[in-house]
Structure formats: C-alpha cells, structure tokens
Structure 1
Amino acid sequence: MAKVLCVLYDDPIDGFPTSYARDDLPRIDHYPGGQSTPTPRDVDFTPGHLLGSVSGELGLRRFLEERGHTLVVTSDKDGANSVFDRELPDADVVISQPFWPAYLSPERIANARNLKLAITAGIGSDHVDLDAAIAADVTVAEVTYCNSISVAEHVVMMILSLVRNYLPAHRWASEGGWNIADCVARSYDVEGMQVGTVAAGRIGLAVLRRLKPFDVRLHYTDRHRLPRELEEELGLTFHPSAAEMVPECDVVTINAPLHPETEGLFDDTLIGSMKRGAYLVNTARAKICDRDAVDRALRSGQLAGYAGDVWYPQPAPADHPWRTMPHQGMTPHISGSSLSAQARYAAGTREILESWLDGTPIRDEYLIVDKGGLAGTGSHSYSTGSSTPAK
C-alpha cells in the first residue's frame, strides 16, 4: 500500500466555506488545440468548491483510503521539524501545488527513501530538483494545461490594471475620495501599445490571443517558433531572444518555465534596455526576475509598473521588497488556483494517481521526468542543469 503525502495551502482564516458565490461551473471538456481535460474514472468532490486548501484535500481521501492507501495532508512544509519533513522519509508519493510548493531539494529527495512519484497539482515543477529526481528515478508529473487559461486571464487583468492605474484609483474610491487627477495621472490606454511575451507556449499564446482585440502590436520570443500561419493570424513579430524583443515593447509579460536558461533573465541590464516607463508582468516564476533589480527599476522610473503573483520563496516573507515597492500590483500566487482551475487540477491529480496505482502509463503530456530522464512535456519545456536549489 502507498503512503501519499499531500502539501496544500491553509484554509481561509474564517473557516472552510459552507457556501459559494456560484452554484456551478461552465462545462469544459477540452483545451485549445484539442487536448482533453482530465479524465479520471471518478471524482469525490463538487466542481467549484475549494479543493486546494488543507480541508479540501484535492478530493482524494475517500478514493485513496477505500483502496487501502494512506493520505497525509499538511500545510506545514518548511523547516527541519516540519510535518512535511517528518512524513517524507517513508512517503511513496508527494503532491504539492506551485502556489504552496513543497520544495523537493536534492537533500529531501535523498532522504525520501520510498519516493517514486512527485505530482504537481497545477503547472510548473521547478520546486522539484529535476536533476535529483532523474538520478533517483523519481517520476515527476504535473497536470499540464489545467490552469493555463486561468493564468492567461490573470495576465491580461494585470496588464490592464497597471496601464490604467486601476488599483490606486480603486483605493481612492474605497477610502471615500474622488481624486480624479490623482487617479488618472498615471493612466494610459493599452490601445496601440507594443506588447511582447517571453515564451509563447500554452499560456503565452493564450495571452496573445486575448490581447489581439485590444488593437495592440504583438511580439514574442520562444525557443520554438510558432507556425507562420499563426503568426499571420495574430499579427505576431518573432524575436530570437528576449534581449532583442524587450526594447521594442511597452508591455512585457513573462510566461516561461524556470530553468537555468531563464533564471535571473530580467536583471539590471535587460530591464535597463527596456523603454523607460514600460510595464512588466510576471506570473511565471519569481526567479526569472532579479528581485532587487525590479525594485530599483520601479523606484527610478525605468519601469512604470510591475505585477505578478509569483515570489521566491513561497510564501514570501513579510519584509519581501516586492510587498512595498511603488507602482506594483502583486498578489499571492493565485493566478492558477481559481475554483475553476482547482476542479481541473484536482481531477488531473486523481487521474495521474489512478494510472500510477494501477500500473498503467501516465499521459505523456503530464510527464516531466520519467525513467531517468526528461519526458513528455518536460522534454519540451525544461532543460537539465542546476538552477538555484529548491529551498
């Protein structure tokens, strides 16, 4: 029998919900491009309910315990005496989310004597040291595409919020003011701007598609160039590198995975090459940007705004400079954890577990590492080599 160790974020501070704002979710059975949404044999949860916190348990307890397996769920993941570290040595499976990552460092993987499978309930497995997983023959899987559109919607919201100066204006209204001049002194139209994405995979391409109706000029850079027909359909300009693209753009959005080639990409030099007053949105991974370079650029005026929901480490400490730097629209890591997305990544996690427990192949698009090497989506999106070790 397997021991499954699941690390999830804490419940709401006022308790686990007993009712919800909406009664149902739109039915979605496939993603753009045709990939089907998760197809487990069954689920033990109500779509649209809170599944990603501790009490939600990703809807897995009944399924696992009825089959004789053990499920341990905790939010306590950091420090040598954390529940995660105490339960890890004999765990067969570890599940965590990018929003509250259980960092599987080489040391933790070495200490996890029974570990065979690490599942990301969501997208983005950089909290797992992939080289160490390869060396230990640990399979790494994630629920590819489950929240890509959720993140793309969040990116568009953040771009509009920054450019239109929405958050300060909302603050004036909430605090009883009517200070129109203060609200509009940093407000512009997105129309006509040059907008570029670093990476045009599932999320980046979805962002481009959603921005086209705003009558902006669209740019992208990616290690895999898009088909010419798609470039023509969306009016895209391709750039071989971020360094060649960002000087052209008024807005840059980062939609790339974190690996050695992208870590620290947006440093003082690259940000300094951007237009003065450009906007930068990062819902990918915090370490793609140099933390202090972003802070400096906002304070100097080189950047007009920065928004994102990714931090390092996660959760971010109270004194993290991105909490207090000017002209920012930071949130906790929530872009891919809407209740809509949770229904898909919980179902996908169960689908992966069903396959693994039954000894049948895990969907190729879910695989990141398998059989001692990068596999499936991992071979397309990641590269081996050491980035900064997982915390």
Structure 2
Amino acid sequence: MTGKMEELPYALMSYNGGSKGFPQKYETIVKKHFQIIYMEEFSKNKNVYAPKIQAILVWWLQPVVDKELLDSLPNLKVIANGGAGVDHLDLKLISNYGILVSNTPGVGDDTTADMGMTLMFASARNVVEGNTASCSPDTKEIDFNWVGDDITEATLGIIGMGSIGYCIAQRAKAFRMRILYHNRNRRTQEEEAAVGAEYCSNMTDLLQRSDFVMVVVTLTPETHNLIGKEELQLMKPTATLINISRGKVIDQDALADALNKGIIKAAALDVTYPEPLPRNHPLLTAKNIILTPHFGNATHRTRRKVAEKTVQNASDILKGLPVKDIVTVP
C-alpha cells in the first residue's frame, strides 16, 4: 500500500475543511489519484514539496494562484478548477508557464438552474417575508390581502442562454411562461421551439418586456456591470431581477438605488461582489431584496460530482489522456 501511494503524484490544495476549505468527506476522491499537500504544510516545507507538486486543485477560489506561487512550482502541469467559472484565474499568466487549466462545465447546470427558479419563486411569492412574519413572536394576525406575483404565464427574460440558461428555459416552459432570451449567439430554431423561446437581438427589448429578468452570463470584461443604472431604468417598475452568474455583472450600488426608488420592484441575488458583502453595503438594507450566499450548485450530489470531475480532469491530464474540459486562453 505504501509503495502504491508513493507512485501517486502530488496535488496542492488550499486547506482541509472549514467554511471554504476542501470538504473532508471528499478527500477519499482525491486520494485515489493524488497525494494531498495543503497550503499550510506546503508553506512550512516548500523546499521538500515544491519540486513534487504537479497539480493544483482549486476549490472555492482557493488557493490563490499568482506569480509567486507559480514561480515556486517548477513541475506544475495542471490547475484543475472545481466549478465552471474561471474568472478568478489569470489565464494569460498561467499559460505563460505552459500550464493547462481545466474546469467542470455542465456538472452543476441543473442544480444552478433550480436555484434560479427558487429565487424567482421566493421573490414573487414573498416566501422570506412570509416566513419572517409567520415566525415572529410579535405577529398576532396575517394580512389576508398580502399578495405576490404570478409566475405562471409571466414573461421571463433570460440574459445568457448557455447550458444553464437553457435549463432554466426548460423549467420555465412547464409554468407556461413566455420566454425571451438574449445571447451572443442565437440558438437553433429547433432549440428555441423546444422551450418556446423568442430571441431578442437587442437586450433593451428583453428588459422592457420581461416581468422577471434572469442573468446567467459568464463574467468577462464585456459583461462587467452589464446591468447598470440605464438597464435598470429600462425594466418595468413591476419587474424582478435575478442574478445567478457573478456579482460583478451587476452595478450593485445602482441596483440598491433602483430598489429603494421603486424603479424595479424586487431583486434576488445568489451572487454579490465581494462575498459576503460588507455589513454596511446599501444592498443589505434595500427594499424587496433576497440575498443568498452563492448556493448555485450547493447540493450534496452536485458538489461531489464537481469534486470527482475536478480530480479526474487533473489526473487524466497528467496521464496524457484526452480531456474535453481544457480552458482556452481568451
């Protein structure tokens, strides 16, 4: 057994357990393919471990991969990211070292789409406020005339019709929603027909017509602050904005202002920048807002699948096997 362990390559990881560390229950997945070196141990014994490490396994944005770390790992060959988004990695810098980057697209599509729908329903039907009122020791009666918004047959505008956006459209179809979408590339007629989606080449059109706007784009320089003051003013005063992509896609100060002034009715965000927000951020006290802490793919099954895919990608790359989840430098 010891001999077999010695044959396994070394992988650097952030830390074990805690709020953002790699879950202990998934360690057995990694140990099938790698010997794990956590950052604390690495920092104490760099001379011993630095030449041995061939892979970095990134979990919840950690460890931070910068020039100093890359310079210290002469035999690093792959950085495997646990998740689809890689906006936290400097891909151009990493590519200069000849290191490959992999991610896990598709693994969390259904779970993230479920979260988008959950936020839409919770906001439309006052679930959070209703729970607070129902549980409050000060509540003597509930206002019978307290009503929410319909989901069924409402208009949903999806900004970003990639794999997750399409999963949302599939779910929305079951509620007979009118589906509009804006995307860099238009879907095929067959794909549009399957979910009853209408393409909007102009995002302005989508914003003006939608009762619910769901943002599902990848964070890039082009999508940074994609939804700002002007875009919010285009939306209906009865509309709700939902973001399950990245916090930087929305101008958060403009959103807080729009909510407080009634420019839009509500917002539900699973992502912010930073995470968590500073405790004095205006979004925390804005009207009609739901905030969740980046729960998009946070289910037991999906997180385990992400861990398995992350490790498998790194192992296959080191073995010279074909891996489809290689991230290309933009």
Scaled by the length of structure 2, what TM-score is found? 0.85
Alignment of 1:82-231 (within 5 A): 90=50, 91-97=53-59, 99-105=60-66, 109=70, 113-176=74-137, 177=139, 179-181=141-143, 184-185=146-147, 187-231=148-192
* Aligned residues of 2:200 and 2:206 also touching (Cα < 8 A): yes
Alignment of 1:1-391 (within 5 A): 2-7=9-14, 10-11=17-18, 53-64=22-33, 69-73=34-38, 90=50, 91-97=53-59, 99-105=60-66, 109=70, 113-176=74-137, 177=139, 179-181=141-143, 184-185=146-147, 187-362=148-323, 364=324, 366-369=325-328, 374=329, 384=330
User: Rg bigger for which structure?
Assistant: 2
CA distance in 1, matches of 2:24, 2:55: 19
Deviation sequence 1:24-76 (CA, Å, 0-9, x none)? xxxxxxxxxxxxxxxxxxxxxxxxxxx97442345345324xxxx541346xx
* Aligned residues of 1:57 and 1:73 also touching (Cα < 8 A): no
Q: Secondary structure at the match of 2:267?
A: strand
Q: Which amino acid in structure 1 is aligned with residue 85 of structure 2?
A: G
**What is the alpha-carbon root mean square deviation over aligned residues?**
2.8
Q: Which amino acid in structure 1 is aligned with residue 101 of structure 2?
A: V
CA distance in 1, matches of 2:146, 2:114: 24
* Aligned residues of 1:196 and 1:253 also touching (Cα < 8 A): yes
Give the superposition deviation at 1:161.
0.6
CA distance in 1, matches of 2:245, 2:30: 30
Where structure 1 has 5 or more consecutive residues not aligned to the other structure, the ranges are 13-50, 75-81, 375-383, 385-391
Where structure 2 has 5 or more consecutive residues not aligned to the other structure, the ranges are 1-7
CA distance in 2, matches of 1:344, 1:275: 39
Alignment CA distance shift 1:170-1:100 (3 Å): farther
Alignment CA distance shift 1:63-1:285 (3 Å): same
Deviation sequence 1:166-225 (CA, Å, 0-9, x none)? 11001111224364328825x111123210111111100000100112121100011121
* Aligned residues of 2:26 and 2:304 also touching (Cα < 8 A): no
Deviation sequence 1:286-307 (CA, Å, 0-9, x none)? 1111121111111111122211
Alignment CA distance shift 1:323-1:101 (3 Å): farther
CA distance in 1, matches of 2:213, 2:309: 31
* Aligned residues of 1:172 and 1:179 also touching (Cα < 8 A): no
Give the superposition deviation at 1:323.
3.3
Partner in structure 1 of residue 4 of structure 2: none
CA distance in 1, matches of 2:119, 2:145: 17
Query: Which is further off, 110-119 or 274-283?
Result: 110-119
CA distance in 2, matches of 1:345, 1:193: 34
Give the superposition deviation at 1:336.
0.7
CA distance in 2, matches of 1:317, 1:231: 41
Alignment CA distance shift 1:8-1:126 (3 Å): farther
Give the superposition deviation at 1:255.
0.9
CA distance in 1, matches of 2:140, 2:81: 45
CA distance in 1, matches of 2:41, 2:279: 22
CA distance in 2, matches of 1:106, 1:219: 43
* Aligned residues of 1:52 and 1:337 also touching (Cα < 8 A): no
Q: How many residues align?
A: 318
Scaled by the length of structure 1, what TM-score is found? 0.73
**Alignment identity in percent?**
22
* Aligned residues of 1:92 and 1:117 also touching (Cα < 8 A): yes
CA distance in 1, matches of 2:309, 2:116: 23
Structure (1 or 2) with the greater helix fraction: 2
Q: Secondary structure at the match of 2:327?
A: strand
* Aligned residues of 1:9 and 1:100 also touching (Cα < 8 A): no
CA distance in 2, matches of 1:87, 1:260: 38
Give the 4+ runs in structure 1 shifted more than 6 A.
Answer: 82-89
Query: Which is further off, 200-209 or 227-236?
Result: 227-236
